[in-house]
Amino acid sequence: MAKVTKEMIISDIIKIDGGIIPILLGAGMHCIGCPSAQGESLEEAAMVHGLDVDELIGQINDYLEKSEQ
């Protein structure tokens, strides 16, 4: 099973499963297509947006786990 970590680059996370995009958008990360997404880690983006990265990772990994069942 694919697992997302806070060190991963946003664009790489999206490549794992496009269904992650609505999770990021719902959290307020509307920079999915911006240049920052190509080189910014999930932790860096969460910090900029004032989000709890561990909570976000939990949501993403829960989604990935359910989508593989």
Query: Stretch 43-63: mean pLDDT, rounded?
Result: 95
Q: What pLDDT score does 41 carry? A: 93
Model-level pTM?
0.89
Q: Which CATH class is domain 10-67?
A: mainly alpha
HSE-up (13 A, CA, CB side) for residue 13: 31
Per-residue pLDDT reduced to its tens digit, 33-52:
777 778 899 999 999 899 99
Total count of residues recorded for the chain: 69
